[in-house]
């Protein structure tokens, strides 16, 4: 069956298509809650919503079918499988149970979770929260402490003056949350001088707590970034023959320096005449260098863009991908550091650069045309 | 006496129980301030509050008794002892003095401090504030300077137009605090053009001050994290024989790399078939590796999970703790750096890994079963 | 033609003049929307606006002419060319199309983009957003997820109580945006207890999301700063002969230490009697050292201010630039580290310092005056 | 004359006294603007304000006199001199000019600047802003761009619906500032759907801009902290003989590790029985170690607290300062790193530690008492 659905899946299975359907679905769902638009275009909106639902249902069914065939039943119980489930079933179930359509379709807001499905970045953000769970929990406890003490005190101070706003602790807690997070709706405001003093203290505590929270997340994110980048880059470095002559300690060093970038097909990597401040290693895929008379193709494992780092700083040719490719970027700063520590690498790159320049020149002379050299 | 109360304490003395009682107590106290719920369920709420109070009173009494017996009277005067004190005594004293119950039980909001009692993380947060006290105080002074100058100027600008809101300096100061912290209730808003200009400057100053505050806390937290992690990890590293062959400089290096994690009993550490990006050293406790035919137990000092870093990146067996354990985690990135600098370590780990693989194979051959190797 | 317009361009082409014209234009445009000021001074405001427009039009025309002559037509299609275009054409086009003047002149608000034109810093900020695009996009998706789920839930909770504010999902989304960003206008506020609980969760999610966002930007900015500083400093280091004796690894090290500073003509760099905590290398330009009896001029490649780092910490002479100069600053901390790693540099600097002191002394003795030594 | 005023100055010249007078003055000034308190206690408040003014006037006069005698007239023109000037003269001048007292005394809000006078921390915060001036200015320009474009667009969108709030650009700009800084008073709120969409974009831009601002300040503060700490610590390190045996590179390393702390007279540094995680070097001042039978005094250049790092981790004696002292703290983590790189230092410290332990033991044996060893 998979071979029949393949073209359909190729069309509808791309990330772009999925995001577009999510956007359309959310807008239609939002419009469907407005009585005016429901009256004027209700039928179209309903059609649109059912189409989106069908799209998600088919996608989920295909994934489930595949997981079933491959015997990976665990996939159905993963976060991704759960998102598949709750983006399809709640709506028809609610409609069957007799919930009015505008309310039932509110479950379509769960489609927004599709944007985060299978995202590596979300896994990273999640990891930051897991690794920093203890200090973040402490900040939340600090938040709770200020919250309860401030609202009990404010309740005592303002309950006689404003029985409506501060007469009960739940109302007072609402004020404290609104104030501590610096949201400040202004629906409940202390009015006595003592209340103002306490309010000022709560606001400053709010900022202090917030600052701690940001400090912890910033440090956590920095550590997690470094770690996950290293692991992902490490696998790619091993695919570039150029680095295999290095000893393990230097490979570790260079892995910390490289930056990964994934590029779709037919994308310009380097433009002729621009200032160049990095060189590229091809980890996966293929690029085409537009040198005269005939373009040159470089496969995985090759490097380019080194001429801009060695002498003249302008790119000498256009380079673009011919396939979806993963490139490793080495910035000028790191290139200097690397070649300073490992002069043999500098020699290899320089020799290759010279070979390319002379190669281009010879070819051009053969064709007696004014051409372009490699980037 | 302690032996009699021991089972009771085992039940009630866990962190989870304490947090649950705090949550129940705070909710009951909050509900007790609402006249409606007091009328409908006042007796139950009072019962619930008295139970929570009894729980805290017994806990505090036991701790005091123990400290008394051990002669550690200083404990009674510590922060923890102070929290014990103020979470028990104020409520009965207030009730005896004739304060109305809903007001007297407001002191139960102090129970929220129990959440922070004996927390190492709070000590760390406190240390950040102590170490960065001078720059943080400067930011507060900056805050005060903007506050006073802005509110004096706004008082002059707006007092004729809005005598109610800006007619006195205290009201004007209230506006300035609400604006500088970007809370913005909107109860006092400048209305003249000059007032708008000054207001805009105050808001931007607020953001600048806030940015400084966050910058200081972020840097302070990073330094304190590094420091306290090192100290806690250092003690554990000395318990792992594997590291004792290293020279002092390498031990310092590896201590900076390791991450501590405390795991309760019967918890899965490694799951078979998952991608592995770290290895584990057992500092305290014991783990069980589910290899066929019979599981293997590894005691404190052993390591596991290294096979995923050496060759194939998938975990080959489930591992779970049999006791509360403290593990030291070495990430792939740091593993590479470490073995690059200390090739002898790589050899030891590799030899152990090979031994385990062949060990597993031999055992499986003996039993003529298809089994699993170690993780 | 360029030689005729040269004096005009010299006057009007400076950054200061451009910024002043932008400021005047924006103020005039703002005043022009107020009916009172349009009545009292409408003619003057219109004149002022036309002058500003003429200034920008002439500037744009000159740039276009130059680009045309030099054959750099690509410049016209760059961001800068686009800003030139939209700051000139929309206004006359709107006026010709019959749009009322106060509305047509609103396009003058696009002039504010002139402040960012050709700014290197903006390119850097843009790079941070490009490099961190993936994590920042994830945070935005997280923001969207909280937004849709919270507003759907709040719509269900509050639509019966407040049909005006939460009756439709668009209104509910507006509340969620205002709350998640901690803006908190207070025009739509939940009033049921359940609504308060959900509101509190949304506010805390808002702060958490915000914290992630700041964490990513902080780390991205740190990386980009390091990178771009290195590249800009590297080119300047190669112009200072003093550093050319160093091996490549040391040059990389010193490049990381130096801080660039661009100074206009006739600016004081060092003041006599001040405490000195850095030394200076002249990468471009020239400085004058006011030593008695005759000032000494130091050209590009020379260094000064080293005496304050070697012994006495007070500057011994005034130094000021005679041309627009680019200086490289080496802080005391880095100076210590550098000379510790490279003692030969310390010897060179010390020898030069001694030579200068004795030089000054000899000159003073020749003139029998009490003079000043070099800084 | 100075010798007569000396006792007065000793009393009134302390930082504590100055801060107290500022606090009293500001409170009195604030109360003086409230008609009720002016009626009930006007005479006392006026007296209090005059006393504060006299205190500042005398202080300023003494400083000016001293600067005059020492010929340092530049001091009078410094920031500190300017603060002296504006905290004294404006009030009498305003009163003489016939300004009503409550208004004239508003100038007393300038006294808040006294809190920042002569503060090193403020100089550091100022340096961060100077060094990061370019990126911070870019963020402000970004802020201005969003501000003008958003308010022009909102003016067009909402001027017909809400002519009062968005009818002119100045009012629209006020909305944009209030929204971009996430203050959100709620006095002007867009009401059309298009206005809501634009408002949402402005709020998110506000958070993005704010994030950049914080990112820049955080990085700037980190760099400045490192730099200024190094310079201040460097001078103190040279006063400790223990470090003088190190080669320059190691001194640089140790300077980065040490943390300075200034302690007043008779302050406890180390308490017996506490867990110790750092050792101390005395840069300036003197401490007393309470060992039995007679306390030992350690002068500048000595170190203590090393026993807790070498073996047992509990402090073995109380240590307190006998004079205002400056101590250099070496944390356990850095101690390990340092002794790993420089084993000779570890030997010196260990030898000194052993000598002290045996010394204490011998003394105790002589007195036949059970005593305490050094910390």
φ and ψ of D136, to 5 deg: -65, -40
Instruction: Give the C-alpha separation, B246 to D240, whole Å.
Output: 32
Tell me the shortest Cα–Cα distance from D207 to chain B, in angstroms: 11
Rg of chain D over all Cα atoms, to the nearest angstrom? 30
Tell me the shortest Cα–Cα distance from C179 to chain D, in angstroms: 10
Q: What is the pLDDT of residue B374?
A: 44
Q: What is the pLDDT of residue C2?
A: 44
pLDDT at C75 > cutoff 70: no
User: What percentage of chain A has pLDDT greater than the value 70?
Assistant: 92
Instruction: Give the C-alpha separation, D214 to D136, whole Å.
Output: 10
Check CB contact under 8 Å for C145 and A112: yes
Other CB atoms within a 10 A radius of the CB of residue D366 amount to: 9
pLDDT at A193 > cutoff 70: yes
Q: What subunits touch chain D, counting only 3 or more CB pairs under 8 A?
A: A, B, C
Instruction: Give the C-alpha separation, C151 to C168, whole Å.
Output: 10
Residue of D nearest to B74 (CA): D273
Vertex C76: Cα angle to C75 and C81 (nearest 5):
95
Residue of D nearest to A31 (CA): D193
Quick one: which of A120, A140, A123, A119 has its CA closest to A131? A123
**Ranges in chain B, pLDDT < 50:** 1-3, 369-375
pLDDT at A362 > cutoff 50: yes
Instruction: Give the C-alpha separation, D205 to D181, whole Å.
Output: 10
Per the CB < 8 A criterion, the answer to whether A234 and A253 are in contact is no
**Ranges in chain D, pLDDT < 70:** 1-13, 74-76, 248, 311-313, 367-375
Mutation for A interface: D33, D181, D186, D213, most A CBs within 10 A: D186
D6/A29: higher pLDDT: A29
Dihedral of alpha carbons D25, D31, D37, D39, sign: positive
Name the strand (E) or helix (H) holding D340.
helix D332-341
Instruction: Give the C-alpha separation, A1 to C1, whole Å.
Output: 74
| H helical segments located in chain B | 2-12, 15-32, 35-69, 79-86, 90-96, 101-104, 120-131, 133-158, 163-166, 169-180, 193-237, 248-257, 307-310, 332-341, 343-367
Spatial strand order of the sheet with D278-284 comes to D259-263, D325-331, D278-284, D303-304
DSSP states along D178-228: HHHTT---SSS---SHHHHHHHHHHHHHHHHHHHHHHHHHHHHHHHHHHHH
pLDDT tens by residue, D285-304: 888 888 777 788 888 888 88
Confidence of residue C132 (pLDDT cuts 50, 70, 90): confident
Instruction: Give the C-alpha separation, B36 to B48, whole Å.
Output: 17
Check CB contact under 8 Å for D181 and B206: yes
Residue of B nearest to C34 (CA): B193
On chain C, the residues whose CB falls within 8 A of the CB of B213 are none
Q: What is the mean pLDDT of residues A66-95?
A: 83
Of the candidates C145, C204, C231, which has its C-beta nearest A277's C-beta?
C231
Other CB atoms within a 10 A radius of the CB of residue D98 amount to: 7
Of the candidates D182, D186, D218, which has its C-beta nearest A186's C-beta?
D186
Query: Structure tokens of A270?
Result: 């380097």
Check CB contact under 8 Å for C35 and D168: yes
DSSP states along C308-374: HHHS--B--S-EEESS-EEEEEEEHHHHHHHHHH-HHHHHHHHHHHHHHHHHHHHHHHHHTS-----
φ and ψ of C262, to 5 deg: -100, 130
On chain A, the residues whose CB falls within 8 A of the CB of D33 are none
Residue C111 three-state SS = helix
pTM of the model: 0.84
For chain B, give the number of residues: 375
DSSP state of A372: -
pLDDT at C63 > cutoff 60: yes
Dihedral of alpha carbons C233, C234, C236, C240, sign: positive
Quick one: which of A239, A249, A263 has its CA closest to A323? A263
Query: Structure tokens of D216?
Result: 């820049």
pLDDT at A84 > cutoff 80: yes
Rounded to 10°, the helix B120-131/A133-158 angle is: 80
Per the CB < 8 A criterion, the answer to whether C178 and D203 are in contact is yes
On chain D, the residues whose CB falls within 8 A of the CB of B139 are 125
pLDDT tens by residue, D273-289: 777 778 888 888 888 88
Confidence of residue A75 (pLDDT cuts 50, 70, 90): low
Q: What is the pLDDT of residue A92?
A: 92
φ and ψ of B321, to 5 deg: -80, 150
| H helical segments located in chain A | 2-12, 15-32, 35-69, 79-88, 90-96, 101-104, 120-131, 133-158, 163-166, 169-180, 193-237, 248-257, 307-310, 332-341, 343-367
On chain A, the residues whose CB falls within 8 A of the CB of C151 are 109
Per the CB < 8 A criterion, the answer to whether A65 and A3 are in contact is no
User: What percentage of chain C has pLDDT greater than the value 90?
Assistant: 23
φ and ψ of A358, to 5 deg: -70, -35
Check CB contact under 8 Å for C142 and A125: yes
Instruction: Give the C-alpha separation, C315 to C273, whole Å.
Output: 5
Mutation for B interface: C31, C33, C179, C184, most B CBs within 10 A: C184
On chain D, the residues whose CB falls within 8 A of the CB of B193 are 170
Other CB atoms within a 10 A radius of the CB of residue D368 amount to: 7
On chain D, the residues whose CB falls within 8 A of the CB of B208 are 213, 217
Residue A114 three-state SS = helix
Instruction: Give the C-alpha separation, C327 to C269, whole Å.
Output: 10
Check CB contact under 8 Å for A178 and C227: no
Confidence of residue A147 (pLDDT cuts 50, 70, 90): very high
Q: Which residues pair with C328 in a beta bridge?
A: C260, C281
Instruction: Give the C-alpha separation, D114 to D24, whole Å.
Output: 13
Check CB contact under 8 Å for C186 and B186: yes
Instruction: Give the C-alpha separation, B231 to B235, whole Å.
Output: 7
Residue of C nearest to D177 (CA): C183
Q: CB contacts < 8 Å between C and D, how many? A: 148
- Cα–Cα distances in angstroms (integers) from residue A75 to residues A80, A119, D105, D180, in the given order: 8, 15, 74, 44
Confidence of residue C373 (pLDDT cuts 50, 70, 90): very low
Instruction: Give the C-alpha separation, D11 to D178, whole Å.
Output: 47
Confidence of residue C24 (pLDDT cuts 50, 70, 90): very high
- Cα–Cα distances in angstroms (integers) from residue B234 to residues A93, B240, B285, C106, D274, in the given order: 57, 11, 17, 65, 19
- Exposure string (b/e) for D319-351, b if CB count within 10 Å is 16 or more? bbbbeebbbbbbbbbbbbbbbbbbeebbebbee
pLDDT at C302 > cutoff 90: no
Tell me the shortest Cα–Cα distance from C69 to chain D, in angstroms: 32
Vertex A361: Cα angle to A357 and A367 (nearest 5):
150
Query: Structure tokens of A116?
Result: 């985060």
pLDDT at C256 > cutoff 60: yes
Q: What is the distance between the terminal CA atoms of chain B, rounded to a whole angstrom?
A: 48
Per the CB < 8 A criterion, the answer to whether C278 and C304 are in contact is no
Q: What subunits touch chain A, counting only 3 or more CB pairs under 8 A?
A: B, C, D
Tell me the shortest Cα–Cα distance from D83 to chain C, in angstroms: 21
Q: What is the pLDDT of residue D242?
A: 77
C120/D154: higher pLDDT: D154
Quick one: which of C81, C105, C111 has its CA closest to C93? C105
Check CB contact under 8 Å for C144 and A112: yes
Query: Structure tokens of D32?
Result: 């003086």
B228/C2: higher pLDDT: B228
On chain C, the residues whose CB falls within 8 A of the CB of A178 are 184, 199, 203
């Amino acid at each position: 069956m998979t071979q029949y659905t393949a073209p359909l899946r190729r069309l509808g299975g791309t990330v772009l298509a999925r995001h577009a359907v999510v956007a359309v679905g959310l807008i239609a769902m939002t419009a469907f809650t407005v009585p005016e638009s429901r009256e004027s275009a209700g039928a179209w909106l309903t059609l649109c919503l059912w189409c989106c639902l069908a799209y998600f249902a088919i996608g989920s069914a295909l994934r489930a079918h595949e997981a079933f065939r491959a015997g990976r039943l665990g996939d159905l119980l993963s976060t991704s499988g759960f998102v598949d489930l709750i983006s399809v079933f709640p709506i028809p179930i609610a409609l069957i149970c007799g919930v009015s359509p505008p309310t039932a379709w509110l479950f379509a807001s769960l489609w927004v979770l599709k944007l985060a499905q299978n995202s590596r970045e979300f896994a990273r953000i999640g990891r930051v929260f897991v690794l920093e769970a203890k200090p973040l929990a402490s900040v939340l406890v600090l938040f709770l402490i200020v919250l309860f003490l401030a609202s009990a005190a404010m309740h005592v101070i303002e309950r006689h003056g404003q029985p409506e706003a501060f007469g009960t602790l739940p109302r007072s807690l609402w004020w404290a949350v609104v104030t501590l997070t610096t949201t400040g709706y202004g629906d409940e405001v202390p009015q006595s001088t003592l209340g103002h003093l306490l309010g000022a203290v709560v606001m400053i505590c709010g900022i202090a707590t917030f600052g701690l929270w940001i400090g912890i997340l910033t440090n956590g994110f920095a550590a997690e970034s470094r770690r996950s980048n290293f692991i992902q880059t490490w696998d790619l470095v091993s695919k570039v023959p150029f680095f295999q002559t290095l000893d393990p300690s230097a490979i570790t060093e260079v892995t910390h320096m490289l930056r990964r970038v994934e590029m779709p097909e037919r994308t310009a990597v380097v433009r002729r005449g621009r200032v160049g401040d990095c060189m590229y290693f091809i980890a996966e895929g293929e690029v085409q260098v537009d040198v005269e008379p005939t373009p040159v193709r470089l496969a995985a494992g090759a490097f380019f863009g080194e001429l801009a780092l060695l002498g003249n700083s302008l790119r000498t040719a256009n380079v673009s991908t011919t396939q979806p490719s993963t490139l490793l970027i080495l910035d000028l700063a790191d290139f200097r550091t690397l070649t300073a520590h490992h002069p043999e690498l500098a020699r290899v790159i320089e020799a290759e650069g010279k070979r390319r320049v002379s190669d281009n020149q010879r070819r051009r002379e053969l064709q007696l045309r004014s051409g372009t050299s490699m980037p």
